[in-house]
């Protein structure tokens, strides 16, 4: 087996865009507000890599208990805005 010369390739440029498509509609989200500062998505509350009912149940429990980590909108306190924020993210899947 012989290996021939590689074909001539001219220089080219490529451009990549990295973004979020939380609702998976093929269009990058303009405001990925559900992205956590430390990585992961708000709706993936247990950091499992998936958004499922366990995330919902765990968040609701923490929210009901008033645990500070249920402050998903980072306002500094846990209130109904956190619940609305989480549910919106959960419904979008991220
Ligand atoms: Ca999860
Ligand atoms: Ca809050």
Measured from the alpha carbon of residue 51, the closest ligand is: 1
Give the residue among 8, 12, 37, 33 at the shortest CA–CA distance from 94.
Answer: 33
Domain boundaries, given as residue ranges, for the chain: 11-94
Closest CA to 70 of 80, 62, 81, 79: 62
> Is this model's pTM higher than 0.75 or not?
no
- Ligand at minimal distance from the CA of 83 is 2
Predicted confidence at residue 9, as pLDDT, reads 86
pLDDT beyond 80 at 13 = yes
Ligand 2 mean position, distance from CA 38 (Å): 17
Q: Indicate if the pLDDT at residue 31 is higher than 60.
A: no
pLDDT digits (tens, 9 = 90+) for 64-89: 999 999 999 889 999 999 999 999 99
- Which residues, including other chains, have CB under 8 Å from residue 78's CB and lie 6 or more apart? 63, 66, 67, 68, 70, 71
Using the mean position of ligand 2's atoms as its centre, give its distance from the Cα of residue 47 in Å.
Answer: 19
Which residues have their alpha-adjacent CB atom under 5 A from ion ligand 1?
44, 46, 48, 50, 55
- What pLDDT, on a 0 to 100 scale, did the predictor assign at position 19? 67
């Amino acid at each position: 087996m012989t290996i021939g010369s590689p074909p001539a390739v001219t220089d080219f440029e490529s451009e990549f865009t990295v973004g979020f498509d939380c609702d998976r509609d093929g269009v990058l989200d303009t405001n990925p507000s559900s992205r956590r500062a430390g990585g992961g998505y708000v709706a993936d509350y247990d950091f499992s890599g998936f958004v499922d009912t366990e995330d919902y149940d765990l968040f609701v429990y923490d929210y009901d208990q008033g645990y500070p980590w249920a402050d998903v909108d980072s306002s500094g306190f846990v209130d109904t805005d956190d619940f609305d924020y989480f549910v919106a993210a959960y419904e979008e899947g991220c």
